[in-house]
Structures are given as C-alpha cells and as structure tokens.
Amino acid sequence: MRRRLIAAAAALAGLACASASPPPGGPEDRNPPRLLHVTPDSNAVNVRDRNVVFSFDETINDRGSGAQELDNYFLVSPSDGNPRVSYHRSRIEVRPRNGFRDNTAYTVTLLPGLGDLRGNTMRTGASLVFSTGPTIPPNRITGTVFDWAAERPAARALIQAVTPDSVLYLAQADTAGRFTIGPLFPGTYLVRAIIDANNNRAQDRSEAFDTLRVTAPQASPLEMLAIVRDSLPPRISVVTVVDSISLRVTFDRFVDPEQPPAATAFRLVAADSSVVPIVATITPRAEQAEIQALQQARADSIRRVDSLAGRLLPPRPTAAPPAPAAGTRPSVPPPSATMLLRVARPRTPNTTDRLSVTAARGLSHRADNSERSFTTPRPAPPPPADSTRRPASPTRAVPPPPSRP
C-alpha cells in the first residue's frame, strides 16, 4: 500500500512539473498572445525594480516557438551576457544577468515570435526604456542593414554598439533592416551589424557583418553593408576566354567594389612573349547594363524593320519599369569576384597566355599580386550540313490577270 501511495505521489509531481499545455475542448484559438502591460513604466527614472515584468492575456509557451529558448526572445541593453528570464505562465520576468546597475539607462526588448500553447506567435515586439538614475540620455544611433551580396535588407540583423570601455549595447533590426540603438551617452561607438544566422548573438567567422565607428549624436543614419569578409587579399583563380577579345577573370575572394583593379593593373603576356594591352575592365553591373543596351538596340531594329514592312506592332511601353524604392537596395554596388577584360588583339586559338594583376584589393583593404596561365580554345566547328534536306523548289511567278477594257 505504501509503495502505491509513493508511486501516485511521484506521478502527480511529474504532472505538476510538466510543461504547460493547452486545455482540451472549446473553439480553436488562432489569436497570438496580447501584451497587457509592462512594469516599470516606459521612460521611468530612478527605477528600483529588480525585474522587468511582461504580462500577457494568456499562458505563454515556456519553450518559445520552434527550437528557440524563451530567453532568446528578450534583449537587455546594455548587456552583461544572456539575460535571466523567469517564466510564470502569463507573466515573464526579465533582468540582466548580474542585475540592474545604478545610474544606467536600459532598453529591454521583447522580440517578435513569442507563442502561446496553441502555436500562435506574436508578429510584433515591444521595447521599454527606463533608467535606474535620474536621467535618460537623448542620443540614439539609427540606420539600415543590408545583405550586401544579395542587395536586400537584412531582416532581424543583430546590432551591437561598443564603447571604448567595452560597454555593449544591443538591438535587433526590423524586417526592413532598420534599427535604432540607445539611449546612449555622447561619445564614440564601434557599431557592428551581424546577420546572426544561428541566433547565438555573436559574430561567427562564416556570418556576414559590417562595422563602422560612429560618434553620438550621429549626423545621419548609417548604411551597414553586411557580407562575409576575409582577411586575405583576392588572387586570380580562373581566366576564361569569352570571345577572341574578351577574358573573364575570377578571383578566389571578393574584390573591393570601391577600388577594383583598373586596366593598367593587369598585364597580359602572349605565348610569343609580347605584351597585349588591356583596353578596358568591365564590372558585372556594367556588363549587365551593356547586355541590356544591346538587347534594346536589337529590339528597336526589329521594330523598325517590321514597321517598314507594314506589319502591325504591339504598342511600345512608354516608360521603363520603376526603380527599386529608396532604402530597399544598398547605395553601393555589391562586391564581386569576377571582372571582364577587353584586350587589344584577338587571342590566337590553341596558345597559352599568362595574365597577371598588381595590387588587387579585397574587402579587408589588403592587396596582393597574382597571375594565372590560360589557353585559348579552338573555335567550335560549324554544324554539318543536312544532306537529307531537299532544296526548296523554285516558285514561278504568276502574272496578274489582264485588265478589262
């Protein structure tokens, strides 16, 4: 009998410790949790509370949503490590790892994604600003983060601002890549934007990032260009013959788009040891514009021929497609690892030339020299004539019928 009582007590204890689950029955709930109130009040000063308390209208999933832990949905800035998050069903308490410091302005942010027991998640978050001292500094650092290689805003990028004495401020960009970090005291900050793919709130070597040194108050919003950066300079990896006077150079790393190698930085030595001048270097964006211009010229030429022939044509569009809205693409062209070279003399098939470059600069602003040999292939033979096809029989012109008197 005693053993049965012990087993029953253990079972009840296990149920009490289990994670919260939705009650059975009732209409299906598709509404996300609603934040009722937060304490302390926003913009409060001389705060003595030990925790920031978020109160919701229903029980929150204590495991967050998906694979996220609950504490991943809260940012405390300035930060002393991952915050301490206490779960109380419909109430969540948040505090810095080592507690709130005196005379410090804090921003505590609830990030989007917090869910209820039925998997309904909040699409928006909330931020609370308060101070444990008598004032809240007015300064903020604002800007936009872009995934530079993809030429689009970096949604939910992690933003860090570090003071000279290593105080770390945190924020997260919104879905359009926009961010605001603060409140901050006047001074110099090292601002870092990270596309935090693994959500560990740290910069890993494989993650795209950008850094800027900023003085608060700032003069204008920042443009952060996040990309995977390498400390090594680019070197020529492959040279491909596009046509008799065009070579495509591929580097093993991105080339600095603000200072790509000029034509004079390249040297082409032919198989007979003569130097072949490089007459132009063309970036991928300029090459694409050149292709579009040729396609438009060809279309205009066909249109003129059809017009002279009397064929009806569809109306020509009166305006070019609208340009991307301001702020949706970076103002600086994305970096590339390729360039197109135009040479002064056609290359000879089945010969080996050598191309070298001087001081090719990468994203780390480090430069190096490199070279690569390549062989111009023989042109492809023309397709064989179709001997089974009969020549078209000549058509005899039919004279018009005689006119009646």
Closest CA to 189 of 170, 206, 209, 208: 170
Q: Where are the domains of the chain?
A: 31-136, 137-229, 230-297+334-379
Contact indicator for 249, 261 with CB cutoff of 8 Å: no
Residues 215/187, Cβ–Cβ less than 8 Å: yes
Higher pLDDT, 265 or 404: 265
Q: pLDDT class for 401, splitting at 50, 70, 90?
A: low
The tokens for 36 are 């009722």
For 179-210, give one letter per residue: b (16+ CB within 10 A) or e: bbbbbbeeeebebbbbbbeeeebebeeebbbb
Q: What is the pLDDT of residue 383?
A: 78
Q: Residue 5 has what pLDDT?
A: 43
pLDDT tier for residue 303 given thresholds of 50, 70 and 90? low
Please choose, from the candidates 258, 231, 266, the residue with its C-alpha nearest in 3D space to the C-alpha of residue 371: 266
Average pLDDT, the chain: 86
Residue 318's pLDDT band (cuts 50, 70, 90): very low
Mean pLDDT of 200-228: 94
CA distances from 79 to 89, 189, 280 (A): 25, 15, 51
Q: What is the mean pLDDT of residues 107-135?
A: 95
Give the mean pLDDT of 156-179. 97
230-297+334-379: CATH, from 3.40.190.290, 3.20.20.140, 3.10.105.10, 2.60.40.1220: 2.60.40.1220
- 291 membership: H or E segment, kind and range: helix 284-308
Q: Look at residue 306 and give its three-state secondary structure.
A: helix
Q: Span 263-292, mean pLDDT?
A: 90
- Is residue 388 pLDDT above 80, yes or no? no
Query: How much is the average pLDDT of 389-393?
Result: 61
User: Judging by DSSP bridges, how do beta strands 158-162 and 91-95 pair with one another?
Assistant: unpaired
pLDDT of 323 strictly over 80: no
Lowest mean pLDDT among 59-68, 344-353, 388-397: 388-397
Per-residue pLDDT for 220 more than 50?
Answer: yes
Average pLDDT in the 15-37 region? 69
- Give the chain's length: 405
* Phi–psi pair at 160, nearest 5 degrees: -125, 140
Cβ-contact 360, 233 below 8 angstroms = yes
Q: Answer for the pair 104, 95: CB distance below 8 angstroms, yes or no.
A: no
- The model's confidence at residue 258, banded by pLDDT at 50, 70 and 90, is confident
Which pLDDT belongs to residue 76? 98
Residue 354 has pLDDT above 80, yes or no: yes
Higher pLDDT, 27 or 149: 149
Distance CA 215, CA 75 (A): 23
Q: How confident is the model at residue 63 (pLDDT cuts 50, 70, 90)?
A: confident
Mean pLDDT of 275-285: 92
Residue owning tokens 């935090």 = 196
**β pairing state of 222-226 and 139-147:** parallel
Of the listed ranges 150-164, 284-298, 344-358, the least confidently predicted one is 284-298
Tell me the C-alpha distance between 192 and 183, whole Å. 17
Q: Which residue has the tokens 């919104």?
A: 174
% of the chain at pLDDT higher than 70: 81
Contact predicate 269/351, CB 8 Å: no
Closest CA to 174 of 189, 188, 159, 191: 159
Pick the CATH number of 31-136 from 3.40.50.880, 2.60.40.3710, 2.60.40.10, 2.130.10.30: 2.60.40.3710
Mean pLDDT for the stretch of residues 253-263? 92
What mean pLDDT do residues 120-147 have?
A: 96
Contact between residue 115 and residue 121 where contact means Cβ atoms under 8 Å apart: yes
- End-to-end alpha-carbon separation of the chain, Å? 131
CATH number of 137-229: 2.60.40.10
Predicted confidence (pLDDT) per residue in 35-62, tens digit: 999 999 999 999 999 999 999 999 999 8
**Structure confidence at residue 226 (pLDDT):** 97
In 3D space, the residue among 149, 154, 150 whose CA is nearest the CA of residue 192 turns out to be: 154
Distance of CA 345 to the CA centre of its chain: 41
The answer to whether 233 touches 196, Cβ cutoff 8 Å, is no
Task: Decide which of 305 and 355 is more confident.
Answer: 355
Average pLDDT over residues 361-376: 95
Look up tokens 């009490």; give the residue: 16
pLDDT score of 307 more than 80: no
Q: What is the pLDDT of residue 333?
A: 84
CA distances from 325 to 153, 174, 223, 312 (A): 12, 17, 15, 36
CATH topology identical between 137-229 and 230-297+334-379: yes
Q: How is residue 259 written in tokens? A: 């200072």
